[in-house]
Amino acid sequence: MVNHRRYGGSTAHRAEEPVPTLAKLFKRPNSSVLAKMANLDGSRSNGARHELEVAVRLLGGQVELAAVYRIIVSSARDVGINADALPDFLHLEHDEAPLLLLGQDEIDSADLAEAIWREQPNLDDKLTESLLIAAARIGQHRFACEVLKNHGHRCVFCGLAVTVDDRRAPRMLIASHIKPWRECDSRERLDVANGLTACPTHDVAFDTGLLTANGELRIHIYSELQRAAAGDPSVHAAFGRPPLGDRLFLPSEAVRPERAYLNWHRDHVFRGTLIRQPPFVR
């Protein structure tokens, strides 16, 4: 949920939740919680070896991590620590569903291993390698969460947002990279401006080059798909205008997709050439 590397000694007070709440519960400053996080991921030189072993075991298995989390929260409730003092920040206390990391379909183990060995060719420690792989998966999850939040949990192509029982319906939206993860460097993989939120249909269409967007955020459709939408009501229901907008649907305060990433997608993924689209009225 939180990337501790964003904060230093003078900025620890700015750490987002649940760091401040946990710090208050343990009667420690934010910096203490952030330091423990650094110990666990190996980025603090004086961290203990056993902390790395704990981190690898937990982060390498989502089922085990969820089980340990539920035990800790249940134990806290048994001794009177209520949800105000210790919120159920992973939303697992009353839900037996597995802990799901977002965005994992976009990367596979081969891509992860190749990226790690390419960026750290002298790595010779299996424990560290396992931790780096786990950290990359957590980073992808955080990236997806930030992209969804940035776009108001709404498909940028059609505006779809689904809420059921006052909660956002899970897996109805996908947050993925514009320039694919495997093609990115470490900075680009975590850059929210390199992400788009889409419903599953439009996510696949973007990923396979049937849709793209230019630097002005205008949505373009592959010409063959556009012709199909004009003659087939079922195709029009997904790729007509509407539901597709003229430009990407973005909240006014959102970080806009960066032009360089959109240009990469146009040049390497999109199947057609960009042509001027007719005006759109919803």
Give the pair of three-digit tokens for residue 275: 């042509």
Task: Write out pLDDT tens, residues 46-98.
Answer: 777 788 888 888 887 788 889 999 999 999 999 999 999 999 998 899 888 77
Nearest to 180 by CA among 208, 150, 138, 141: 208
d(CA 90, CA 191): 23
pLDDT reported for residue 282: 39
Task: Write out pLDDT tens, residues 133-192.
Answer: 888 888 899 999 999 999 999 999 999 998 877 777 767 999 999 999 989 988 999 999
Place of tokens 């991921």: 41
* Choice between 188 and 122, residue whose per-residue pLDDT is larger: 188
Nearest to 277 by CA among 247, 238, 232: 247
* Choice between 43 and 104, residue whose per-residue pLDDT is larger: 104
User: Does 271 have pLDDT greater than 80?
Assistant: yes
Quick one: 230 exposed, middle or buried, by C-beta within 10 A (0-12, 13-18, 19+)?
Answer: exposed
Average pLDDT over residues 245-262: 96
pLDDT reported for residue 109: 76
User: Does 103 have pLDDT greater than 90?
Assistant: no
pLDDT reported for residue 254: 97
Q: By mean pLDDT, which of 25-29, 95-99, 276-280 is the weakest?
A: 276-280
pLDDT reported for residue 114: 77
pLDDT reported for residue 121: 64
* Percentage of the chain exceeding pLDDT 70: 93
| φ and ψ of 185, to 5 deg | -90, 180
Nearest to 66 by CA among 47, 50, 88, 46: 88
Place of tokens 């060719």: 121
pLDDT range class, residue 235, cuts 50, 70, 90: very high
d(CA 200, CA 181): 18
Give the pair of three-digit tokens for residue 82: 């209520």
pLDDT reported for residue 224: 94
Nearest to 193 by CA among 175, 168, 169, 212: 175
Mean residue pLDDT across the chain: 88
User: Does 275 have pLDDT greater than 60?
Assistant: no
Give the pair of three-digit tokens for residue 279: 């005006």
d(CA 242, CA 175): 22
Average pLDDT over residues 204-224: 95
pLDDT reported for residue 195: 97
Residues 87-93: contacts with CB under 8 Å, at least 24 apart: 87/17, 87/18, 87/21, 89/1, 89/17, 89/18, 89/21, 90/1, 90/66, 92/66
Q: By mean pLDDT, which of 24-28, 219-223, 275-279 is the weakest?
A: 275-279
User: Does 279 have pLDDT greater than 60?
Assistant: no
